[in-house]
Structure 1
Amino acid sequence: MTPKVPPRLIDSLVILIAAAEALLNVIPEPSPVATATVVLAVLAILVRDRWPVPALVATLPAVVFPGAIVATLVALYTVSSRYRSWWLLTACWLVAAGIAAFPLVEVAPQFWDTDAMLGLIYFTMPAAAPILLGQFLRSQRELALKLDEVEQAREHERRLDAEAILARERNQLAREMHDVVSHQVSLIAVQAGALKVSTTDPTARQAAENVRQLSVNTLDELRHMVNLLRASGTPATELTPQPTLTDLARLIDNSAIDARLVSDAPDGLEPPVQRAIYRTIQEALTNVRKHAPGASATIDISHDDTDLTVTVTNTPPTRPHLALPSARHGLVGLQERATLLKGKLHTGPTPDGGYQLRLRLPLIGHARG
């Protein structure tokens, strides 16, 4: 693997080259104006990352007087790497090329001479090169980000597929346990009860009662295990401590998007409701990160005497949207959670081009007394 050159080293080399070229242009005919323009140009490229367009403008006087052009080319590249607008880039290119071609005014009567035309070409082409390079590297960075998003989406889909397979296997195991083991243990309990009634031996009656009671207890434990198996067909993290509303702040802080919580849920909610709220917000933030690059999200938890509503709204994406593969397993899971709690889930676009997810749950029966 080729070692990556540190960006600071590249910046230092660029500044040194620009300063050296400016110095070489001033030395043959030193003057206060030329010295001031090259000093301004070198200082401008020091702040080009923060103010790209003003830095470009500040380098232009050095092109006219001593003829130092490296600082302007560096500033042009920075503007191109920051902005996608071709109107802005074309304007910067024409201004830089026009400033560089300013000396051709002296030969205006012979403008169509070969030397004048070659000079114009020599000035315009170098001004276009850093703009094209900046756009190329910008596209390369965006492509790398999109490929990373695609890989993350595929990994998410693979994980969901594996969890779906695991859920089917657990449900099958639960059915087998219920159909086979439950049937056999029920027979044991029935026969033990019959033996207790039919025998007159106190010892046998006590033994039969013990067998019957153990069979009943085993059936209760078996039903509990079957319910656990069926409910555990979700990610393996279900076996770990489940998240609550106290974990929302950490979830939002680690979401890698601009998200804010504008209100809090009421106290005393049952654990299933808290998990449903947490998972809904988690899935909504995941979808914002996947399908609306650069968007911000607002999380609102409101309630009245009967219902609790969780609304996650995101703004339109600020970066080019990439259609990522999705089987919508996450939304299906949220819909199932809402149905189990007698709630409703609604999703859809907003008028401004964003997206909204709303979960409504009844508070009656889900709040601790």
Structure 2
Amino acid sequence: MARRDRVIDAALVGAAALDVWLTTEVFAAEDLDLLTIAFEVLAVLGLTVRRRLPYVSFLVALPSWFLSAAMVAMLIALYTVARNTRDRRVLAACAVAVFLGYDFPWSPYDLSAVPDKALLRNVVYAAMTAAAPVFLGQLMARMREIEDARCHERRLVAETTLARERAQLAREMHDVVSHQVSLIAVRAGALQVSTTDPDTKDAASTIRRLSTDTLDELRHMVTLLRASGSLATELTPQPTLAELERLIAHSGIEVRLDGSVPTGIGAHAQRAIYRTVQEALTNVRKHAPGAVAAVHIEQDNNDLTVTITNTRPTRPTVSLPSARHGLLGIRERAELLGGTVEAAPTIDGGFRVRLALSTDRQ
């Protein structure tokens, strides 16, 4: 946990503890029982685990919400749940519990003795008290998603720029350097055949052999430059299809995998499939909140097709800046392998990305 987060947590726990102390002081004359005080202290202590166990923190604070007038711990716990959950049913249940705890504290009182206007006011206050942490938590969660999307977009722009520079360098090496080295090899071969001097023949043979080796190295470097899409490709192990299920499990959205992961294909094809699925699932999370995705893999002889489809979003979307560099990058990867990528909306409001490769060319 970052130092800033620890300071914030300490401040929130302190605010909740101060609220409990003030509440105890105010109601001391009314013989506040020890059980209520114990639940208040437990609610404050529950805030120490709110980041790791938000639901536990909420449930621990719930009894004190019904038994005492201390409010800070409960509102912080509800905000934490709202910021960390995507399940609206769970969030609605938590908000209803807070609403009931505000309007019907323990011990029960005679509602008939409360004036209608006062009762209506309590209902409005209870609704606002329950709704405020929920809306604030959801707002902060959405802002965090937007920031993650922007960071991803910036990374894609940087990777695309780097890939473009590498492609340009690869073209220069292929068109200029390789051409010059080829001429050296040809001239050295001609000299080796035409000369009668043994030393000259041996030197020409050495030059021709070194030129041929250099051409092989240049071809290998050009292939690497064209296939690599980011600086990280040289610094970290490249992903393979063995990591595809882990990618899906940690995508942060609900994803179904149909078909078996193909085996026996080249490393470049494996990277193309992995990056295509990764980019498609990232776009689902960014542009279709609440959508469900499916990854369908189909292999027919030498034809391999990977289709990523998502349903329409179930939550409001926020318009984010996008240069579509991600789709451009996976199209370029596919083209280098002789494949194609198709991306288009579906008739039901979702989106589909389809990668087609021929495994006999890998």
Which residue of the partner structure matches residue 238 of structure 1?
Answer: 233
Q: Tell me, in whole angstroms, the C-alpha distance in 1 between the residues paired with 2:17 and 2:312.
A: 35
Deviations 1:193-236 (A, max 9, x none): 3433443222222222222222232233223323322333x012
Which residue identity is paired with 2:230? P
Q: What is the SS of the residue equivalent to 1:223?
A: helix
Q: Tell me, in whole angstroms, the C-alpha distance in 2 between the residues paired with 1:334 and 1:186.
A: 33
- The verdict on how the C-alpha distance between 1:300 and 1:184 changes in structure 2, with shifts beyond 3 A counting, is closer
Which residue of the partner structure matches residue 116 of structure 1?
Answer: none
Q: Tell me, in whole angstroms, the C-alpha distance in 1 between the residues paired with 2:19 and 2:75.
A: 17
Counterpart of 2:112 (choices 79, 93, 102) is: 102
- The verdict on how the C-alpha distance between 1:307 and 1:212 changes in structure 2, with shifts beyond 3 A counting, is closer
Which residue of the partner structure matches residue 140 of structure 2?
Answer: 144
Q: Tell me, in whole angstroms, the C-alpha distance in 1 between the residues paired with 2:263 and 2:219.
A: 32
Counterpart of 2:127 (choices 120, 124, 131) is: 131
Is the Cα contact below 8 Å between 1:77 and 1:134 reproduced in 2? Answer: no
1:264 positional shift = 1.0
Which residue of the partner structure matches residue 348 of structure 1?
Answer: 344
* Backbone CA RMSD of aligned residues: 4.7
1:365 positional shift = 4.5
Is the Cα contact below 8 Å between 1:153 and 1:290 reproduced in 2? Answer: yes
Which residue of the partner structure matches residue 278 of structure 2?
Answer: 282
Is the Cα contact below 8 Å between 1:78 and 1:134 reproduced in 2? Answer: no
Q: Tell me, in whole angstroms, the C-alpha distance in 1 between the residues paired with 2:16 and 2:77.
A: 13
Q: Tell me, in whole angstroms, the C-alpha distance in 2 between the residues paired with 1:278 and 1:123.
A: 59
1:207 equivalent to 2:203? Answer yes
- For residues 64-103 of structure 1, the aligned pairs below 5 Å read 82-83=91-92, 102-103=112-113
Which residue of the partner structure matches residue 87 of structure 2?
Answer: none
1:48 positional shift = 12
Q: What is the SS of the residue equivalent to 2:8?
A: coil
Is the Cα contact below 8 Å between 2:78 and 2:133 reproduced in 1? Answer: no
Which residue of the partner structure matches residue 189 of structure 2?
Answer: 193
Counterpart of 1:260 (choices 256, 259, 266) is: 256
Which residue of the partner structure matches residue 8 of structure 2?
Answer: 3
1:269 equivalent to 2:265? Answer yes
Is the Cα contact below 8 Å between 1:174 and 1:226 reproduced in 2? Answer: yes
Asked which structure has the greater CA Rg, the reply is 1
Which residue identity is paired with 1:253? A
Q: What is the SS of the residue equivalent to 2:315?
A: coil
1:247 positional shift = 1.0
Q: What is the SS of the residue equivalent to 1:215?
A: helix
Deviations 1:34-58 (A, max 9, x none): xxxx9xxx9xx9x9967xxxx9xxx
Q: Tell me, in whole angstroms, the C-alpha distance in 1 between the residues paired with 2:77 and 2:183.
A: 81
Q: Tell me, in whole angstroms, the C-alpha distance in 2 between the residues paired with 1:176 and 1:235.
A: 19
Which residue of the partner structure matches residue 158 of structure 2?
Answer: 162
- The verdict on how the C-alpha distance between 1:183 and 1:343 changes in structure 2, with shifts beyond 3 A counting, is closer
Q: Which moved more, 1:123-132 or 1:180-189?
A: 180-189
Structure 1: where are the runs of 5+ without partners? 28-37, 60-67, 105-118
Q: What is the SS of the residue equivalent to 1:3?
A: helix
- The verdict on how the C-alpha distance between 1:214 and 1:77 changes in structure 2, with shifts beyond 3 A counting, is closer
Deviations 1:110-144 (A, max 9, x none): xxxxxxxxx43333223212322332322222221
Is the Cα contact below 8 Å between 1:153 and 1:325 reproduced in 2? Answer: no
1:76 positional shift = 11
Q: Tell me, in whole angstroms, the C-alpha distance in 2 between the residues paired with 1:266 and 1:231.
A: 21
Q: What is the SS of the residue equivalent to 2:343?
A: strand
Question: TM-score w.r.t. structure 2 length?
Answer: 0.68
Which residue of the partner structure matches residue 314 of structure 1?
Answer: 310
Q: Tell me, in whole angstroms, the C-alpha distance in 2 between the residues paired with 1:294 and 1:320.
A: 9
Q: Tell me, in whole angstroms, the C-alpha distance in 2 between the residues paired with 1:180 and 1:172.
A: 12
1:302 positional shift = 2.6
Which residue identity is paired with 1:271? A
- The verdict on how the C-alpha distance between 1:360 and 1:143 changes in structure 2, with shifts beyond 3 A counting, is same
Q: Tell me, in whole angstroms, the C-alpha distance in 1 between the residues paired with 2:17 and 2:314.
A: 28
1:329 equivalent to 2:325? Answer yes
Q: Tell me, in whole angstroms, the C-alpha distance in 2 between the residues paired with 1:77 and 1:128.
A: 20
Which residue of the partner structure matches residue 31 of structure 1?
Answer: none
Counterpart of 1:121 (choices 117, 123, 126) is: 117
Q: Tell me, in whole angstroms, the C-alpha distance in 2 between the residues paired with 1:13 and 1:170.
A: 60
Q: Tell me, in whole angstroms, the C-alpha distance in 1 between the residues paired with 2:237 and 2:181.
A: 33
Q: Tell me, in whole angstroms, the C-alpha distance in 1 between the residues paired with 2:31 and 2:112.
A: 17
Is the Cα contact below 8 Å between 2:339 and 2:356 reproduced in 1? Answer: yes
Deviations 1:56-101 (A, max 9, x none): xxx8xxxxxxxx9969xx99999997349xxx99x98xx98xx976
1:278 positional shift = 1.6
Q: Tell me, in whole angstroms, the C-alpha distance in 2 between the residues paired with 1:247 and 1:277.
A: 11
1:26 positional shift = 12
Percent pairwise identity: 47
Q: Tell me, in whole angstroms, the C-alpha distance in 1 between the residues paired with 2:281 and 2:173.
A: 38
Q: Which moved more, 1:199-208 or 1:335-344?
A: 335-344
Q: Tell me, in whole angstroms, the C-alpha distance in 2 between the residues paired with 1:169 and 1:267.
A: 32
Aligned residue pairs, count? 321
1:25 positional shift = 11
